[in-house]
Amino acid sequence: MGWMINSNVKGFGLAEQIITLAVLAVLTAIAIPAFHRMMMGHELRAAQTDYIAALQHARNLAVNEQVRITFFAQAAMAYIAVVMIRGAKVG
């Protein structure tokens, strides 16, 4: 008894799979820089929002407590450190 060959085999051949992987690799190579730029823009907007919130907090503290506030912002990596020093009473 010999092997029977089924001519109705369905599926993808090696050539189709290689072409699909090549197209996927090209699309990925195009998408990575765009995704990186999008992430950098998002981080910049998040840092800007944090900075504005810290400034508003320092202003509110100065007004409510009637003290002089010195605002220091230090950017390190992806965060902003804020130190508020209370001074002498104003007025």
Q: Is residue 66 part of a domain?
A: yes
Residue 88 burial by Cβ neighbours in a 10 Å radius (0-12, 13-18, 19+): exposed
Write the CB contacts of 69 (distance below 8 Å, at least 6 apart in sequence): 58, 59, 61, 62, 84, 85, 86, 87
Which carries the bigger pLDDT value, residue 77 or residue 17? 17
Give the pLDDT of residue 78.
38
Residue 64 lies in a domain: yes
Residue 84 lies in a domain: yes
Is this structure's pTM higher than 0.85? no
In a domain? residue 9:
no
Domain that holds residue 68: 14-89
Residue 2, domain member (yes or no):
no
Residue 27 located in a structural domain: yes
Is residue 63 assigned to a domain?
yes
List the one residue out of 73, 8, 71 whose CA is nearest residue 86. Answer: 71
Residue 5 falls within a domain, yes or no?
A: no
- Provide the pLDDT confidence category of residue 31 given band limits of 50, 70 and 90: very high
Structural domains counted in the chain = 1
How far apart, in whole angstroms, are the C-alpha atoms of residue 85 and residue 67? Answer: 9
